[in-house]
Amino acid sequence: MCAQKKRRSLAEKADKYKCYLKSVQSPEHEVEFFDKAFKDEFHAKPTTLREDFCGTFSVCCEWVKLGRQRTSLGVDLDPEPLAWGEKHILSKLQPSQASRVRILEKDVREKTRPTVDVLAAQNFSFWLFKTRKELLEYFRVARSNMSRQSIMVMDMMGGGDCYAENMVEKKVIKKGKKGFSYHWKQVQFNPVTHEADFSISFKFADGSKLQDAFQYNWRFWTIAEVRELLEEAGFTKSYVYWEEEDEDGEETGAWIRAEQAESYPSWLCYIVAVK
């Protein structure tokens, strides 16, 4: 009697890094923002990028498409996403572009040379440093990896909703049989330490799920704390970029410097620090 072959669920066939890239990242938008923030400060174009916590280094790969002088360096501790990026993203670049991407499997707190024009730490990754001492040390090293005229770019999230527990935000990424949705869960938040747990799951059309494909335990930093630490680390200025709104309160997709903003239940913004 021949054993019946069990059909694999869509979750079993899925690639968690591919799902992550489609749900969370927007490398074209990121590099466009880096150029804008650099131009706002120095009225010039940057050429060198270091992407800390680079994971699959999609931002590094996008950066080198913007011009032949552009080079990028991605730094991450984990060989798994680095290998995935090499196989699925770097390999799709033209050889002349790929040769300008350098990857280091290292701790972001290591100094590298040459220094860079833009140092990016995206998707809240620096929140894994949970004490002032640790974050200050990271900012000091990051600053030392930057050129004389340079910026550091970080993203931040916040708002009252972000302190709720067991809250799930769902987003349909692709519709239909091959579609999936992205679930961002705030698992728990400790108001005493500001430590928080988050997870990312993906749900597929057949009902199967990649449960907790990514999990994070972070310190929920505030903008004010981060800016104070940046100043302490030696950065001369820092700006907050908030998404611009039109007269009807609709987001325009443009990011502008702001020192005051509306207290929405949840928001995203950038902090840009000048060396």
Ligand X SMILES: C[S@@+](CC[C@H](N)C(=O)[O-])C[C@H]1O[C@@H](n2cnc3c(N)ncnc32)[C@H](O)[C@@H]1O
Residues at the contact surface with ligand X, assessed by CB under 6 A = 24-25, 53-55, 75-78, 81, 107-108, 122-123, 125, 128
Query: Which lies closer to ligand X via its Cβ, residue 121 or residue 274?
Result: 121
Q: How many CA atoms lie within 13 A of 183 on its CB side?
A: 16
- In angstroms, give the least distance from the CB of 85 to ligand X: 10
- In angstroms, give the least distance from the CB of 65 to ligand X: 17
Query: Which lies closer to ligand X via its Cβ, residue 46 or residue 85?
Result: 85
Q: Is 67 helix (H, G, I), strand (E, B) or coil?
A: coil
Measured from each CB, the residue nearest to ligand X is: 55
**Other beta carbons less than 10 A from residue 84's beta carbon:** 21
- In angstroms, give the least distance from the CB of 171 to ligand X: 15
Q: Is 182 helix (H, G, I), strand (E, B) or coil?
A: strand
**Other beta carbons less than 10 A from residue 232's beta carbon:** 13
Q: Is the dihedral of CA 103, 105, 108, 112 positive or negative?
A: negative
Query: Which lies closer to ligand X via its Cβ, residue 117 or residue 155?
Result: 155
Number of H helices, E strands in the chain: 8, 12
Query: Which lies closer to ligand X via its Cβ, residue 77 or residue 164?
Result: 77
Query: Which lies closer to ligand X via its Cβ, residue 78 or residue 212?
Result: 78
- In angstroms, give the least distance from the CB of 35 to ligand X: 18
- In angstroms, give the least distance from the CB of 5 to ligand X: 35
User: What gap in Å lies between CA 254 and CA 127, rounded to an integer?
Assistant: 25
CB-based burial, 98-110: b 16+ in 10 Å, e otherwise: eebbebbeeebee
